[in-house]
Amino acid sequence: MRAVIVLLFLHLGWTDVVGSVLETGADVEQHVKGGEGQTNPELRTATTTQPDVWTELRDLRKVVQGLAAEVVQQKVELSVTKTQLQHSRSQVQELKTLNAAMEVRLNEEMKDIKTENNAVEMRLTSMEKEMGNVMTDMSGRPKVAFSAALTDAEYIGPFNTDITLVYKKIFTNVGNAYSPITGIFTAPVRGVYYFRFTAVGKSSSHRLVIRLVKNGEQVMAMYELPNDNEYVNNAVVLQLEVGDIIYMQLPSSNEAFDNSNNHTTFSGFLIFTL
């Protein structure tokens, strides 16, 4: 019953309802007293048995006032909540806008980074190819170089026939293209080679003649007339095919000299391949 009355108060306004109830209560009280302030005997007994309506009305009025104050407080809190919600929504929108701008900027920076990375990768690929070519050339080209002296035995010759000089004292023989057993250099690859030779003759009765021979054909020859401390030297650059042979030759009736000072030498090396 109180809940219905409270809802009625909230719908109509508690002051109007309470006023109406109070007016009704006054009428009832007047009727009970009867006319000019006299108490109606018929109703006296009935009124004495009824609850204290005025006390209940006053209590109800307090309840309604409390509810009204609570409703006002809730309205205020709801208004504050709405304001906070609107502010939060505004902040969320600002964050969304900021995130969108940052995403656009990040995408642009990522594109720039990808472009730079692609350029770097292309450059690295090019460098790797160049390095690969260099490494292939370096690894594919044999290292060929030799240098040797003739002997410590001093006089060589004279002989009745041409002989191949065998330089037995090896200083360098990278690639083992020169044989200290035969005295012959064999080209391991097609390319351009450099050769140099020196020789000394000390005989006063025999001249010094020395030849550089390629595949059995003389390339050059150096000679001196009989005399003490004859000295010759020369150099040549030759293009050789694989298997071509180079050696030094002492013609018949000639004499060469060498000792621990290494006067008579034969050297050569690969300049580049073809």
Q: What pLDDT is attached to residue 195?
A: 97
Q: What is the pLDDT of residue 131?
A: 54
Hey, is 19 helix, strand or coil?
helix
Could you give the CA distance from residue 153 to residue 102 in angstroms, rounded to a whole number? Answer: 89
Place of tokens 């460098």: 127
Burial 107-139, CB ≥16 within 10 A → b, else e: eeeeeeeeeeeeeeeeeeeeeeeeeeeeeeeee
Q: What pLDDT shows up at residue 9?
A: 47
Burial classification of residue 145, based on how many CB atoms lie within 10 Å of its CB (0-12 exposed, 13-18 middle, 19 or more buried): middle
8 Å CB contact between 173 and 269: no
Taking each continuous run of H as one helix and of E as one strand, the counts in the chain are 4, 12
CATH architecture of 145-273: Sandwich (2.60)
User: Which pLDDT value is given to residue 89?
Assistant: 86
Can you give the pLDDT of all 274 residues of the chain as single tens digits? Answer: 555 454 444 444 544 544 554 454 445 445 444 444 454 555 455 445 555 778 878 888 888 888 888 888 888 888 888 888 888 888 888 888 888 888 888 888 888 888 888 888 887 777 666 555 444 445 566 899 999 999 888 888 888 999 999 999 999 999 999 999 999 999 999 999 999 999 887 765 677 889 999 999 999 988 776 665 678 889 999 999 999 999 999 998 888 888 899 989 999 999 999 9
Cα–Cα distance between 86 and 98 in angstroms, integer?
Answer: 18
pLDDT in the model for residue 20:
53
| Beta-strand runs (E) in 158-202 | 163-164, 169-174, 185-186, 191-201
